[in-house]
Amino acid sequence: MSKKKFTEEQIRLSRIAKALGHPVRIAILQLLANQSCCYHGDMSEIIPVAKSTLSQHLNELKEAGLIQGEFTPPMVKYCINRENWENTRDLLGSFIENISEVKNYC
C-alpha cells in the first residue's frame, strides 16, 4: 500500500496559511483591503518594518496569489487580488467548517 499524495486543496491551504502566518502580512492585507490600491512607498511609512523586509512580505503574499502588483516606475502598486481572495475565503471557510463538524474531540 502506498502513501497518498497531498490533495491540491491541502497544498493550496498550506500555502495560504504560510502567507497569513506573519503579523506584517496581516497588516499589509488589512491596509490593502481598506484601499483600492497602495504603493509600496506608502506602505513603508505605515507598516513598521524596513523597506527590504516589507518587499519580502509583499512577495510572499503575491506568490500565494493574495495580492497583485503592477510595476509603475519607479514604484510598484499593490492591491488585493479579489478573485483569489474570494476563492481563499471559500477554501478557508470550508476547511474550518469541516474541522468544526468533527465529533471526536480529545
Percent of the chain with pLDDT over 70: 92
Rounded mean pLDDT, 49-70: 92
- Give me the CATH code for the 8-85 domain, please: 1.10.10.10
Separation between Cα atoms, residue 43 and residue 48, nearest integer Å = 9
**25 and 61 in contact (C-beta within 8 Å)?**
yes
pLDDT of 3-54, one tens digit each?
889 999 999 999 999 999 999 999 999 999 988 667 676 788 899 999 899 9
**66 and 19 in contact (C-beta within 8 Å)?**
yes
In this prediction, residue 1 carries a pLDDT of: 60
Rounded mean pLDDT, 51-74: 90
> What pTM, to 2 d.p., does this model score?
0.84
